[in-house]
Amino acid sequence: GTLEGSENPILPGWEVAMSRSKNMPYYYNAQTKKVYWVDDELPRGWSQQFDRDGRRFYFHVKDKTATISYDKPVLRPASSPSKANSC
């Protein structure tokens, strides 16, 4: 089945599904037959693949061509309120 309740909606034609064999979520496009695996350590919407040389690269599924990176994107911690302004 598909996973509902995404705070960042994905592009039309894409679904988020759960692999029974790997017990991992993945993005699937029925029209193009492309599959991108979801890595829980990546920010929401990011996936990974391997290039022709076997090097892992990362991209955002909404715009793969503009977001390709060989550096793993990381989640930024939420900023905490500054204590400098407290009395």
Residue (of 5, 14, 67) closest to 36 by Cα position: 14
What is the per-residue pLDDT for 2? Answer: 41
CA distance 42 to 27: 14
C-alpha closest to that of 49 among 40, 62, 41, 58 = 58
One digit per residue, the tens of pLDDT, for the chain of length 87 reads 444 444 556 778 888 888 888 777 888 888 988 887 777 788 888 888 878 898 888 888 788 778 889 998 887 665 555 555 555
pLDDT at 78: 57
Q: Where are the domains of the chain?
A: 14-67
How far apart CA 46 and CA 60 sit, in angstroms, is: 4
